Amino acid sequence: MDEKDHEILHLLEENGRLPLRELATSLALPEDEVEERIRAMEESRIIRKFTAVVDWERAGNSRVSAIIDLKIAPERDFGYDKIAERLARFRQVKALYLVSGVYDLQLLATGQDMNEVSRFVSEQIAPMDHIRETATHIIMKIYKENGNPFFEREGGERLPITF
């Protein structure tokens, strides 16, 4: 990968629907070259998929999201990988990370309501082998997700400055 590939990735990460013509113009490259570079990055799984950031509350289909911290007893010879692979298979799990600090894994889970999230944690996650402890944090409001703010200021309102 060269600098132009990195530029393509940054532009697509910001707006995955950017037309090929605009990408090529921004990069000062021919469209067919940009298209080939993107195709190569898709085939090598550098670009995993193109997706939308949805404001479900605004869409009238509010969901409940939770951040769930997990303490894990790592498996011999596999560490955290096997348990992470099992956790990642649940449809409720939207993101899963190995983290430093007090907990080992952190996952983002969604459900239709708090009861669904609660049942998911208590019936599916907590009883799993190697899970020693869970801490569930319900997300009350989203201000920014995947680099996209979920609030809009009226008429370019400026923030007050205090000294």
What is the pLDDT, as a whole number, of residue 156? 55
Q: Does residue 156 lie within any of the structural domains? A: no
Could you tell me the CATH number of the domain that includes residue 115? 3.30.70.920
What is the pLDDT, as a whole number, of residue 147? 82
3-class DSSP state for residue 52? coil
Left (φ > 0), alpha (ψ -120 to 50) or beta: where does 48 sit?
alpha
* Paired tokens of 1: 């990968």
Q: Does residue 73 lie within any of the structural domains? A: yes
- The answer to whether residues 24 and 83 belong to one domain is no
**Minimum mean pLDDT range among 74-78, 118-122, 144-148:** 144-148
Q: Print burial letters for 77-108: b (CB count within 10 Å at least 16), e (below 16).
A: eeebeebbeebeeeebbeebeeeeeebbbbbe
Q: How many domains does the chain have?
A: 2
The mean per-residue pLDDT over the stretch 88-116 comes to 96
What is the reported pTM?
Answer: 0.76
State the number of CA atoms in the 13 A half-sphere of 15 facing the CB: 6
Q: Does residue 121 lie within any of the structural domains? A: yes
- The answer to whether residues 38 and 80 belong to one domain is no
Which range marks the domain in which residue 73 is found? Answer: 64-141
What is the pLDDT, as a whole number, of residue 149? 87
Instruction: Count the neighbouring beta carbons within 10 Å of the beta carbon of residue 54.
Output: 11
Rg of the Cα atoms in the chain: 20
At 66-76, the pLDDT tens digits run: 999 999 998 88
- The answer to whether residues 73 and 130 belong to one domain is yes
What gap in Å lies between CA 95 and CA 106, rounded to an integer? Answer: 8
- The answer to whether residues 115 and 78 belong to one domain is yes
Q: Does residue 160 lie within any of the structural domains? A: no
At 53-101, the pLDDT tens digits run: 887 778 887 789 999 999 999 888 889 999 999 999 999 999 999 999 9
3-class DSSP state for residue 35? helix
